[in-house]
Amino acid sequence: MPKSLLIVESPTKAKTLQKYLGDDIQVISSKGHIKDLPKNELGVDLEREFAPKYVTILGKAKVIQELKKAAAGIPEIYLGPDPDREGEAIAWHIAEVLGEKNHRFHRVLLLELTPKAIKAALAAPVALNRPRYDSQQARRILDRLVGYQISPLLWQKVKTGLSAGRVQSVALRLVCDRERAIMAFVPEEYWTLDACLDADAPPPFSAYLYKHKNKNIKPGSVVAVEKILDALDTAEFRVAKIDTKPQKRHPAPPFITSSLQMEANRKLRFPPKKTMSLAQRLYEGKDLGDEGPVGLITYMRSDSTRVSAEALDAVRTFIDQTYGGKYLPAAPNRFKSPKGAQEAHEAIRPTGLTRRPQDVKAHLSKDELALYELIWRRFVASQMTPAVVDLTTVDIAASDYLFRATASVLKFAGFTKVYQESRETEETAGPVKFPPLAAGDVLQLRDFDPQQHFTKPPARFTEASLIKELEVQGIGRPSTYATILTNLQDRLYVVKEKTALKPTEMGLVVSDLLVENFPNIMDPKFTAGLEDDLDRVAEGKVPWQQLMRDFYGSFAQHLDAAKTGMRKVKSIPTGLTCPECAGELVVRWGKNGEFVGCAAYPKCGFTGDFFRDARGQISLTGLEPVAPSSPGEAPGTAPVVRGKPVATGLTCPKCGKELLLRRGRLGEFLGCSGYPKCKFTQNFTRDPQGQVVPQDPEADAAYSCPREGCGGHLTKRRSRRGIFYGCSNYPKCAFTMNQPPQERACPQCQHPWLMKKGKKIICPRDECSFEETAAAGDE
């Protein structure tokens, strides 16, 4: 019989630990939480200091029996769930079900799954942390009170099945407020003026209009530009000043949870939920063949940039030996952690630098490898020397105007040899090289290039930029961001258009109703303050019941008022006229999403799809030309409506009958009018005049499926999220990609086509590692 028992929350983690610990300690898993608040009731006693009513999670009774059986006769019980608030709650609930009568419980904080770290954690266990458990419990109860008491109001006032969340709803407000700012934005015209210039030697270069009489200038109209051009008609262009300065670019800190989610979204296009799932697998252990299960990264829910002294020594030695002394700073780089970070944790880093991405490639999935390489490179780069860039600025005088040109030259790669951090908006590259220039040189004007521009509205949030905004405003915690973004999209409050998050009509309505009736809950500052209060509970500074009392008083008042005062919004007026009965069209919600329907329903059954433009105006989509009813009359349009196929004049290639434009739950398609006898269907596109053009079914047949032995070919398909390319052998083969294939062979394995993924061109074959940076304009 083993001398002691270690209980963790994950079977994979248990397998990795058992490999290192041998037979002296038995390792078993609770398979996640074993207790929670009940699903079919509030589960919080408002009359008894918000006492929670925990119940055994469905299916976990058997797990509890297994835990009790394993713990029988073993006095020393080590509890090793994740080292955060959720892990603390799991540990407390396990201790409660096992009981203290015959056991002594020790809390083990496993920050990385390596032999040395595991032994160190077991040698120095800590007591169960009551304040941290209370903080998790308070957060769970707050979320339950908000969600379970506001959601039924939304069911009554808007639509059954809607939900509200303490943090989720504030994140929704941020997205909706940004959308309204975009709708209200009024673009302003402005112009830029570039001068293309020649020196005595090539190459020619461009300089932009910078100042007039020592004041910054931005022409607001073509008239202003023409006035400037007239003034410069006979002007001499002379180099006034040349200034070259070295600039240092410092490496970014190693990842914390929020920065990992943001960077994986920008570089790899991974949703936050996927990033955290992959990171969990890398932390808990991957089977590396002869080595067995190995934890490849440190704990992935961390808000600290701290790195242990041992890890710093290892990475500095690695940099010196691999890249040379000039890439190693004299002292380790230190980074400031965010406010309130748990410094007991480390940054997210590889557990062993000798396990390079290429060394573990054979044991990881494509996505696991991509994320591991991202973490590995970021950590190594974080301890390297800065990059040095020479920034040259040339000022050119012309009459009383000043033009400026800039160029940068990388003098020393530094950390960029290993890794470069991505940005939400890519910087525009300036000229790469100037000709030989000196102050006083006279330049020859080749031409002017005036360009009209308009100011742009604020950009919609992406998943990465929304996480950044939540972090900046202190809303939620990094460990909750993935769940927040997933819920917003699963509830259809927000949809993703390419990478941008756009609120649906439902999302806008729900946000407005909650702001009107629960101003505190929807106030970002109030929500951030509540997060700070929860941190104080975790530090043992505030009793959790006191936090609940302070919160619930005003919340209960708003709740009572909303029960009678909240507006009913079962539909939204559009200002559009029904083409069938001339009644008003309204936006409604069905099981397949939003649509426009006639307000006279059920007398009039017209329905159709719609879109809202950048100014917030609603229009019908799927408009087909209608023949004029009399000579000389302009063609009109009629909407493609749900349930009402539209004639196309096209012939079914299978049976010869007419093809109709139909709409299914995944969008529009062509279908035979002879259905159900003829089941022919076909995708289509539209020409510049809006006419329906059938998609050639053989158009993509030349692109063979890259999966070994599949034998299928790519076909163009539609989903509710847009067009994608999938294998013709689906469902036997599930290969898909979002971008059209690149018409050139892989230079490494000669596969006949390549694919675009994010900002890279890669080979679609899993067996091939070819990749290159996509050139601007690659489609």
Is residue 348 scored above 90 in pLDDT? yes
pLDDT per residue as tens digits for the range 197-231: 999 998 999 999 999 999 999 999 999 999 999 99
343 pLDDT tier (thresholds 50, 70, 90):
low
Query: Are 405 and 169 contacting, i.e. CB atoms less than 8 angstroms apart?
Result: no
CA distance 349 to 416: 18
Question: CB-based contacts of 475: which residues, under 8 Å, 6+ apart?
Answer: 167, 170, 171, 174, 524, 527, 528, 531
Q: What is the mean pLDDT of residues 487-506?
A: 91
Kindly state the average pLDDT of the residues 235-260.
Answer: 95
pLDDT at 587: 92
Task: Give the pLDDT confidence score for residue 344 in this predicted structure.
Answer: 62
- For residue 634, the model assigns a pLDDT of 32
Q: Answer whether residue 654 shows pLDDT above 90.
A: no
As given in the structure block, the two tokens for residue 240 are 């006034």
Of 495, 466, 458, 500, residue with least CA distance to 482? 466
What is the tens place of the pLDDT at every residue in 6-32? 999 999 999 999 988 988 899 999 999
* Mean pLDDT computed over 701-728: 75
pLDDT of 631 strictly over 50: no
pLDDT of residue 369: 96
Over residues 378-406, the pLDDT tens digits come to: 999 999 999 999 999 999 999 999 999 99
Q: Using one digit for the tens of pLDDT, what is the confidence trace for 413-452?
A: 999 999 988 775 554 444 457 999 999 999 999 999 999 9
What would the mean pLDDT of 722-729 be, rounded to a whole number?
A: 77
Would you please indicate which residues are annotated as catalytic (active-site) residues? Answer: 299
Q: Give the pLDDT band of residue 625 (cuts 50, 70, 90).
A: very low
Average pLDDT over residues 66-82: 93
> Residue 477: what pLDDT?
86
Q: Can you tell me the mean pLDDT for 153-165?
A: 92
Give dist(CA 445, CA 259) in Å, integer.
47
Q: Is pLDDT of 339 > 90?
A: no
More confident residue, 39 or 634: 39
Q: Among residues of the chain, what percentage have pLDDT more than 90?
A: 64
Q: How far is CA 690 from CA 223, 661, 733, in A?
A: 37, 13, 34
Q: What is the pLDDT of residue 557?
A: 95
- 244-253, 380-389, 592-601, range with the lowest pLDDT: 592-601
The pLDDT of residue 149? 96
pLDDT exceeds cutoff 90 at 779: no
Q: Do 168 and 487 touch, CB atoms closer than 8 A?
A: yes
Averaged pLDDT score across all residues of the chain: 87
Percent of the chain with pLDDT over 70: 91
Q: Quick: pLDDT tens for 75-122.
A: 999 999 998 889 999 999 999 999 878 899 999 999 999 888 999 999
Question: Contact at 8 Å (CB) between 392 and 362?
Answer: no
Distance CA 98, CA 35 (A): 13
3-state secondary structure at position 524: helix
Instruction: Report whether pLDDT(271) > 50.
Output: yes
